[in-house]
Structure formats: C-alpha cells, structure tokens
C-alpha cells in the first residue's frame, strides 16, 4: 500500500465526498499531530502554513522519531516550523516549512525502470521552482504562483503535481479550481479593457509630477484599475522611483493586496494583469483560446507580438519561447499570513 494515502490524511483524510483511488490507510500518529496543529492555506498563489492559537505547539515543540516517520513542529517566531519525512520501501515523501512561508515538498517513487521525483521550493519573494527528475533527465519549471505553475503545466499538474499538493490539504480541489480559473480568465479576456503596461508606466511617471493635481489623478486612476495592476506595480524597479513615487506605489500595493484565502474570481482579476498567465495559456490545446491569450498578451504589453495560434505545435513552441524571453518576469508577490486562516483552524480544533 502506498504511503501517499497515509499522507492524504494530513488535513482531513479521504472523506465520503472525495473518492479515494485505493483503500484508505489509517492515519498515523504523526499525521494526526500535523492535522491538529497546522493548516495549509493558499494566499496570492503561495502556500502558507498557520498554527492554531490553542495548539500545544505554541508552548512546546513536538518531536517524533520512528523507523518510518520523523516529525518536528514548533510555533516559531514568525510562523510555524515543520519537518516531516516518511519512507516506505522505495517511496519517500518530505515536507519542510520554515517561518510559515518557506515551503519545500519532496516526493520520490519508482516508475518502472526509472525513478521519478518531484521537488517544490517556495522561498519568500522568489519564483516557485518545481524540479522534475525522471531517470537521468531533469527539468525545472519556474512560476510566480502555484496557479501560474498549474496553468503552465496542465498535464503534469493533473497527473503528478496536484496530488502532491493535496497531500497537504485534500480539500483544496485544485483541479476544479484551475479549470474554473482558466474559464474566468478567458471570459475576462473577451470583455476586459484594463490599461496596458505603457499606460500604467505613464501613470507611475505622473506620480513624480511637480503638480499635485497630476499626482493625485494618476494615483486615483491606478487605484481605480483595481487588482489587475498589482503584478505591474509589484514588478517595478524601486531604484528608478523617487521617494514620493515609491511611497504612493507602496501604499497602492498595500491597499490592493488581499490577504484572504484565494478564490477563483479574485485570482482571475489578479492574474489577468500578468504576462506569465497569458504566455502559459498560449499553449492551450484549443486554437481560439491560444488566439485570445495572444491578443491579451499583446494588449497587456502594448505592442504587436509574433505569434500564430494556427501554426504547428513546434512553431508555436518556439514563438512562445521567444516571447517568454521578452516579457516573462516573476511577480513580486508578498505572502501574508491571513488572520482568518488561524481563526478557522481554532474553530475546527474546538
């Protein structure tokens, strides 16, 4: 029996509403301790770990060591620290959490004659990295958020990455959320008239105007554009802004950022303003979606792009690679720990 179905018990186990591929394995003492003390949430496409306020971990660390499992949990100063490893036969799984926001997931299992392993690394302020190793072949996928990663790698996501993530929290329902997110993005693409990056750049320049009225008007227009401008504002080079520009930009980011758990409608608005989103969707299987994604990217960057959605797969791949070199940039996403997530965990533990 695979350890995978042991690890699925980390958050809620295989409930009646969720079909298990194999017979459920009873929870281990270690996974029960994780479920009781730590909850994983998704905020702005980043994984956050929070600890219950009434958890005994707040007073004393938990340590377990056995032949198959090892576990350490402590509350930490800025967020929980967790180290968990499970080894059964040739299969291994590991989770490391530092300060609630630095996350590492590791999985290794046999795959025929070749070994297959995945390693996810999330560091604050850095792109999320997914290292996939099959036999002696390796490749690395970089994305600003978990959502971008799943849009970029739909097949890998469905078959391998989503099951790995949902070992932390099975009720995320990531596959259905990604499908709904994609649908929402294309719906926005058909009706969206958000400002492009050239327009946004002019507004940021006007934040340094000598005229108060121009500074105030530029800030008002940026604020009115809403969450869709966040990726652009977060990606600005602070060294090129004067003190007043940076103060106004920082206030805009703070006001527009949403530290609640991710919902499809909010994330669609946010991701629609990021080039990486549309670059990912330009690889879609359906031509009309590739065309819409290409048009949205061109509108976002404010210039014509070299992309033919009707070309053969190899040609499109090369075109997208060239466009990625020009426009793909990681968003400077801050990972806030939502207070409501801790409150929810407290309510569950009572």
Condensed to tens digits (0 to 9), the pLDDT of residues 178-187 reads 999 999 999 8
Nearest one of 158, 137, 138, 157 to 149, comparing CA atoms: 157
Residue 289 has pLDDT above 70, yes or no: yes
142-158 average pLDDT score = 91
Each domain of the chain, given as residue ranges in start order, spans 4-180+334-349, 197-256
pLDDT > 90 fraction of the chain, expressed in percent and rounded: 32
C-alpha distances in angstroms, 281 versus 38, 116, 165, 300, 315? 34, 27, 22, 14, 16
The contacts of residue 11 (CB under 8 Å, 6+ apart) are 35, 39, 40, 168, 169, 170, 171
Is the entire prediction scored with pTM above 0.85? no
Condensed to tens digits (0 to 9), the pLDDT of residues 316-342 reads 999 999 999 888 765 444 434 444 444
Main-chain phi, psi angles of 160, to 5 degrees: -125, -50
User: Are the beta carbons of 79 and 99 closer than 8 angstroms?
Assistant: yes
Rounded CA-CA distance 222/255 in Å is 12
Residue 273 has pLDDT above 50, yes or no: yes
Rounded CA-CA distance 260/26 in Å is 32
Rounded CA-CA distance 130/161 in Å is 9
Residue 213 has pLDDT above 80, yes or no: yes
116 forms beta bridges with 109, 134
The contacts of residue 322 (CB under 8 Å, 6+ apart) are 306
Rounded CA-CA distance 269/20 in Å is 33
């Amino acid at each position: 029996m695979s350890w995978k179905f042991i690890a699925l018990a980390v958050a809620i186990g295989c409930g009646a509403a969720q079909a298990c591929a194999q017979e459920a394995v009873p929870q281990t003492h270690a996974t029960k301790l994780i479920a009781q003390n730590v909850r994983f949430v998704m905020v702005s496409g980043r994984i956050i770990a929070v600890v219950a306020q009434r958890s005994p971990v707040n007073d004393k660390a938990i340590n377990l060591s056995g032949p198959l499992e090892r576990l350490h949990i402590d509350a930490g100063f800025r967020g929980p620290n967790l180290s968990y490893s499970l080894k059964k036969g040739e299969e291994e799984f590991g989770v490391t959490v530092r300060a609630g926001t630095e996350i590492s997931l590791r999985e290794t299992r046999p795959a025929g004659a070749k070994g297959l392993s995945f390693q996810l690394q999330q560091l604050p302020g850095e792109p999320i990295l997914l290292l996939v190793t099959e036999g002696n072949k390796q490749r690395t996928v970089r994305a600003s958020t978990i959502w971008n990663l799943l849009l970029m790698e739909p097949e890998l996501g469905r078959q391998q990455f989503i099951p790995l993530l949902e070992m932390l929290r099975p009720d995320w329902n990531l596959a259905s959320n990604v499908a709904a997110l994609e649908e929402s993005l294309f719906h926005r693409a058909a009706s969206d008239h958000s400002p492009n990056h050239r327009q946004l750049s002019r507004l940021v320049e006007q934040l340094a105007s000598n005229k108060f009225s121009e500074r105030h008007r530029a800030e008002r227009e940026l604020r009115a554009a809403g969450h869709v401008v966040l990726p652009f504002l977060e990606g600005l080079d602070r060294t090129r802004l004067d003190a007043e520009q940076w103060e106004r930009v920082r206030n805009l980011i703070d006001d527009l950022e949403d530290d609640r758990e991710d919902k499809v409608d909010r994330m669609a608005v946010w991701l629609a303003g990021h080039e990486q989103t549309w670059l990912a969707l330009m690889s879609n299987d359906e031509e009309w979606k590739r065309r819409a994604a290409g048009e949205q990217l061109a509108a976002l960057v404010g210039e014509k792009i070299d992309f033919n959605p009707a070309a053969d797969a190899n040609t499109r791949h090369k075109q997208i690679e060239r466009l990625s070199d020009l426009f793909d940039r990681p968003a400077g996403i801050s990972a806030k720990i939502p207070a409501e997530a801790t409150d929810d965990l407290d309510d569950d533990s009572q």
